[in-house]
Structure 1
Amino acid sequence: MNRVRWQLDKEGRITAWGSGAAAFFRLPAEAVLGKRCAEVVAGTDGFGRPLCVRCPVQREIRRGAYQASTAISCGGKRLICQGYVGSEIHVELKAENHTDSSELLASLSWAARKLAAEPGSFFQTLQVFLGSLRRALDMEAAELFLADPQERYLVLTAYDGIHREAFLEKAWFAWGEGFPGLVSLLHHPLLTHDLPSDARYLRQKVKKLGYKTYVCYPLELPQGLIGVLNLASRDPDADDEALLEQLALIGPMLAASLYTVLTRLGEAGLRAVASALHAQSKGQGIEAFLEQSARLSGASCVRLLLADGETYVHGKGNPPACGFAEHCGVWEGQILGVRGGVAACPHVGAGQSRQCLPLWSGPRVIGLQQLFFTRLPPIASQAVAPVLWLERLGAEVLWPQPHSVSSVQEHWLELRTFGGLQVRREGQVLPPKAFGRRQALTLLKLLLAHRGQTLAREELCERLWPGEEAEATQARLHVLVHDLRQALEPDPARPQLILREGKGYRFAPQIPYFLDVERFEQLIHQGDGLEGTAALEAYRQALLLYKGDFLSDEPYADWAELERAYLRERAVDALLRSAEIARALGQPREALEAYRRILKLDPWREEAYRALMQQLVELGQKLEAKSLFSQYQSRMEREGLPIDPDLARLVQPA
């Protein structure tokens, strides 16, 4: 069946008539333009009654939907009539059993535009998109979890489908917990057709309703995990291949759209704070900061308690202060609440609905904020992750940490290599075009990967132009060195960064500079020589620098792999010792986070599995421990490796 398409104005009159429509209805464009759609199509419902005169598609679009569809009979054929909102209403007839990628991409494209243009409709837009996705893939439930900026939790932000209350049984998961948390560690989808017997799935109400198929898909970008997208059905025979194929198609674009919107939220919060600070009023800056949080979350009142004891309140009413705030788990990064869709507060079980969130500035929780609600949204947890994204930039301006003072005030050059190369000169980020040729950046990366060494011209040429004759590439190398010096040196005529030594070059700065790798190793070496809290603090600072693998923007460069593996191992060692110290200091949550991060860096590290499972069992989180063991067992069996019996015994009933 050819594409049968036409367009309507707001009154339902035909303004454009495609060739497929002309062929299907056997009517040329001049015979239909300006006429009402119902008059031309004259479709009927399943009982033969006129349908177009009460067109369900136009009715839903007039009510605010961006797309709508209905079953219709035309010319003796059962079809689907589907309409989309653009500058006009775009209509298409499809075979009743037709599902293609263009429908999903059209939905996603609309959602991406809507999210970018109207951040205020964030939650409604996500729900509408999930509804389209669920129907297109013939699933019964669709849900979106967003990760917080610190990558500690995944929180339910949008849902569409039946049995809402069952899916809201647990609306948040720690990294490594349940299906969403495991996907965050594994970085690949999880799918089951036997949900009731799958120990990794932690919502018992959903299991009791007979759901069989569940797919959890990671939404990832180079910056990290943005969230996970989940689909559920009571049909045990849902098509795996079709589901994963469609999710792979839309996943990257959805992740990019979400990241853009969340980043813009943070920038909006920062602008509100900066405007007040420009007027030299920190109090107004804090007021603007809290007002943004209240508006996004829908909270009637926001109270902020800072670590130094200062308290700020914004909104209606003045709820009583919490007597347990000083010892609250939020100071360790937890997200707690009272009937707020998040983990239940262990101290307060009654009173006004609230969410208690950590306020981060850099790597530290510097405040406890309480969001009070007179009326919770349909998904109580929906604003938790967006609020944390909103506040992350503004908090660092209002309450800067001593260690986060910009190094550009002290250094001519700042180089960040963890998670990909970023170069700042005099505080300004240098875009790739500042280096002239793309290979000038590659040359810089080569020198950084071999810092402290002089690389011969022949070796550099072989790395940059493998297989070509050295004589033919020497001149090109000189051009790249010239480009690099022009971009980086204070005075390119008197090099102080990229130095020539003998018949080679090396990165050997003679002026103040900052290189994250060097600082990372200094801090770890410092931590190795300390004990207790002092060691833990040094490791925290080092791991804050570790944003990802060394030069992760060169994933296939063999010349970077040895350094990358070495630095990853140093990070894992620091995390292992951090976890041991945190446990000894009675900080189990920090230990859990360290073990989980180890498994993100090295999913084969059995000692991390063992320690994390042991810690979970000790904290009474046996379901999560069993879920983690299932993940470990599946990984080992897939590779044909033996299961550690000690790990199995940890999760077996006593």
Structure 2
Amino acid sequence: MKPLARLRLDPWGRAKVLEADPSLGLEGSDLPCALLVQGQDPFGRPLCARCPVQRELKRGAYRASTPLLLKGKRLRCQGYREDGGFLIEFYPEKAESPDLLLELSRFTQHLLRHPEAFPEALETFLGTLRKALGMEAAELFLADPEGHHLILTAYEGLHRKAFLEKPWFQLGEGYPGIVALKREPLYTHALQQDARYLRQKVKQLGYQTYISYPLELPQGLIGVLNLASRDPGAKHEEALDTLSRIGPLFASTLYTLLTRLGEAGLMALEQHLHRGEVSQARHNLLKELKRFSKATGVRVATRGGERLELGLVPTCAMRDCPAWRGEVVGFKNGLPDCPEAEGRSRICFPLWARGEVVAVGTLFHAHPPKPPTGPAAPVLWLARLATPLLFIPLPEEPPELEVYALGGFRVCYRGQELSPKSFGRTGAFRLLKFLLANKERALYADELCETFFPHLPPDKARQELYTLVYHLRKTLPGIVEREGAYYRLHLPEKRFLDFERFEELMRKADLEEGLSAFKTLRQALELYKGPLFGDDPYGEWAEAERAYLQERALSGLLRLGDLAEALGYKEVAKEAYARALRLEPFLEEARARLLALRG
């Protein structure tokens, strides 16, 4: 149906009338939409000044609508995100159903630009589809990348809790599993008598019509879309005809998005894997899983017994976790129960590579998502390309020791991240920092005593120093050598120190020109995430090395900006100068160049 009026709004809400029925009196241009429309809510109160459509769109929704009164006419104001602004359309309040292909096209465009909005956008689209087909509930089950399970990813409609009774199906189990196995639609108008339908709470609420439709592409099954109604006379023919038209495009949209998630997860690790920084690559994967799933904590456990954690993570024995057998399990979310779980909601999922489970991931949520299983399938797709590279032993062994000291301080020994508690004494952890800051020097024992125990008598200070060295050697065997009255740091040959690698790349860039220097500088400056030992900013013992590395980073950023300008990469140059100013706000050379580029 053609709208009565169409307006295009810029990000600040100023409206341009594209077309409008003369009876609506929408005249003027470059006016705030609220001033141009001056609509009212159904009770006659001003509505546009507190426009709910713009509010929802600015929060990230791709579509929003509200009823309003305009010049005595009952209308529906409907908005979409579009090209940095918004498209607003006005329809009669009881207009025909929207064009679902057009809705799906807008949904697709929005997700390709904003993949992080996947859960909210998917629920909004399911709501539009449900209402257009006269149904009371719509749900989407996505298949995991291995094609073993179907997991409830989005739900929109009435009686949510009843439909969450069982949010996980194996192939061949229940309506979604049967449809996934046979790849054919399935429907019924007598749900309560159908033994194939397994959610008893839905039957008890009187639902009669249920339609299950496979979303399939040549690559395989992506998921299953379900519609439900308590009306036994609901027309399944119309629904199936609509789904046959939009299904291929919907399946393609989902597959494209899920594949792009996997590629994004892989790209976040690429540079680290190229440099042999396996621990940092794994850490980045956890960050991506946490960010996308909006979890408060993430854990990944490997076959070798390693545990990688990020955020707030409760303890878990994981002695007999079904996820190792390929199941998706959980706690307080309708998934099969995790035998070790207690406390907060969680989802445990297998990470596959070459046909076997090589690691188990766990998501923790302080406030469970809606539905609680929503993040499970997307994070499996996000991790699927990265998992074989991170959790299958590579032909070449990773570094024995990995140290990340630029911007913070992290230590990994033989693939296991060490915390201050791993060293037995906090002082041993700090001693390691001091030795790393002076890794080329032999340090006199009395110098170390003066640094760490300035207020103790010499004999007592020396005894305390021996204790710290003992704990340090116990955690990192062979890391400290003693030569008479001196101590020296002894680093293994297979090692990665981010500040050492940063300096190597900066020296390499000093000898290069043009594009070659540009690439090397970018690689070096990716390592510089902040001052040396940024978690210990008052450590005066590191001040000289810290200042030297920051000066190297500042000069590198200025040269990178200069090279980027010469090569025509103006946005890269702007970012380089802006980053230099974040490191040193009074660096006038960077400020002048940035202002010149911005015009």
Q: TM-score range by the shorter chain?
A: 0.5 to 0.7
Q: Report deviation, 1:146.
A: 0.8
Q: Call closer, same or farther: CA 1:34–1:277 in 2, change over 3 Å.
A: closer
Q: 1:271 aligns with which of 267, 272, 277?
A: 267
Tell me, yes or no, if the aligned pair for 1:141 and 1:232 is still in contact at 8 Å. Answer: yes
What secondary structure sits across from 1:393 in the alignment?
coil
Q: In 2, distance between residues paired with 1:373 and 1:40?
A: 44
Q: In 1, distance between residues paired with 2:322 and 2:56?
A: 46
Q: Calculate the aligned-residue CA RMSD, in Å.
A: 3.2
Tell me, yes or no, if the aligned pair for 1:291 and 1:314 is still in contact at 8 Å. Answer: no
Bigger Rg, which one: 2
Q: 1:94 aligns with which of 91, 94, 97?
A: 91
Match of 1:348 in 2: 340
Identity %: 47
Match of 2:5 in 1: 5
Q: In 2, distance between residues paired with 1:375 and 1:301?
A: 12
Structure 1 segment 173-184 matched on structure 2, within 5 A: 173-184=169-180
Match of 1:359 in 2: 351
Q: 1:285 aligns with which of 281, 284, 302?
A: 281
What does the per-residue CA deviation read over 1:415-453, in whole Å, with 9 as the maximum and x for residues that have no partner?
Answer: xxxxxxxxxxxxxxxxxxxxxxxxxxxxxxxxxxxxxxx
Q: Report deviation, 1:274.
A: 2.7
Q: In 2, distance between residues paired with 1:211 and 1:289?
A: 42
Aligned letter for 1:91? I
What does the per-residue CA deviation read over 1:207-248, in whole Å, with 9 as the maximum and x for residues that have no partner?
Answer: 212222222221111100111122222222222232223222
Q: In 2, distance between residues paired with 1:35 and 1:191?
A: 51
What secondary structure sits across from 2:104 in the alignment?
helix
Q: Report deviation, 1:32.
A: 4.3
Q: In 2, distance between residues paired with 1:276 and 1:337?
A: 32
- Are 1:227 and 2:223 matched, yes or no? yes
Q: In 2, distance between residues paired with 1:193 and 1:63?
A: 39
Tell me, yes or no, if the aligned pair for 1:8 and 1:89 is still in contact at 8 Å. Answer: yes
Q: Report deviation, 1:79.
A: 4.4
Aligned pair count? 393
What secondary structure sits across from 2:357 in the alignment?
strand
Aligned letter for 2:275? A
Aligned letter for 1:183? V
What secondary structure sits across from 2:233 in the alignment?
coil
Match of 2:199 in 1: 203
What does the per-residue CA deviation read over 1:94-142, in whole Å, with 9 as the maximum and x for residues that have no partner?
Answer: 344433452x233322321222122222222222222222233332222
Q: Call closer, same or farther: CA 1:117–1:2 in 2, change over 3 Å.
A: closer
Tell me, yes or no, if the aligned pair for 1:17 and 1:33 is still in contact at 8 Å. Answer: no
Tell me, yes or no, if the aligned pair for 2:144 and 2:150 is still in contact at 8 Å. Answer: yes
Aligned letter for 1:337? G
Q: In 1, distance between residues paired with 2:318 and 2:88?
A: 60
Q: Which moved more, 1:348-357 or 1:174-183?
A: 348-357
Match of 2:584 in 1: none
Q: 2:130 aligns with which of 113, 134, 137?
A: 134
Q: 1:172 aligns with which of 168, 171, 179?
A: 168
| TM-score, length basis structure 1 | 0.54
Aligned letter for 2:159? H
Q: In 2, distance between residues paired with 1:319 and 1:83?
A: 42
Q: Report deviation, 1:66.
A: 3.3
| TM-score, length basis structure 2 | 0.59
Q: In 2, distance between residues paired with 1:233 and 1:13?
A: 41
Q: Report deviation, 1:375.
A: 3.6
Match of 1:215 in 2: 211
Q: 1:334 aligns with which of 327, 334, 343?
A: 327
Match of 1:311 in 2: 306
Match of 1:385 in 2: 377
- Are 1:154 and 2:150 matched, yes or no? yes
Match of 2:315 in 1: 320
Q: Call closer, same or farther: CA 1:294–1:37 in 2, change over 3 Å.
A: closer
Match of 2:17 in 1: 16
What does the per-residue CA deviation read over 1:573-597, in whole Å, with 9 as the maximum and x for residues that have no partner?
Answer: xxxxxxxxxxxxxxxxxxxxxxxxx
Match of 2:420 in 1: none
What does the per-residue CA deviation read over 1:189-216, in whole Å, with 9 as the maximum and x for residues that have no partner?
Answer: 2222222222222111112122222222
Q: Report deviation, 1:50.
A: 7.1
Q: Report deviation, 1:73.
A: 5.8
What secondary structure sits across from 2:315 in the alignment?
coil
Q: Report deviation, 1:294.
A: 2.8
Aligned letter for 1:249? R
Aligned letter for 2:206? G
Q: Call closer, same or farther: CA 1:39–1:235 in 2, change over 3 Å.
A: farther
Match of 1:395 in 2: 387
What are structure 2's unaligned runs of at least 5 residues? 396-599
What secondary structure sits across from 2:346 in the alignment?
strand
Q: Call closer, same or farther: CA 1:17–1:169 in 2, change over 3 Å.
A: same
Match of 1:450 in 2: none
Structure 1 segment 481-560 matched on structure 2, within 5 A: none
Q: In 2, distance between residues paired with 1:384 and 1:350?
A: 19
Tell me, yes or no, if the aligned pair for 1:341 and 1:379 is still in contact at 8 Å. Answer: no
What are structure 1's unaligned runs of at least 5 residues? 404-654
Q: In 2, distance between residues paired with 1:340 and 1:188?
A: 29
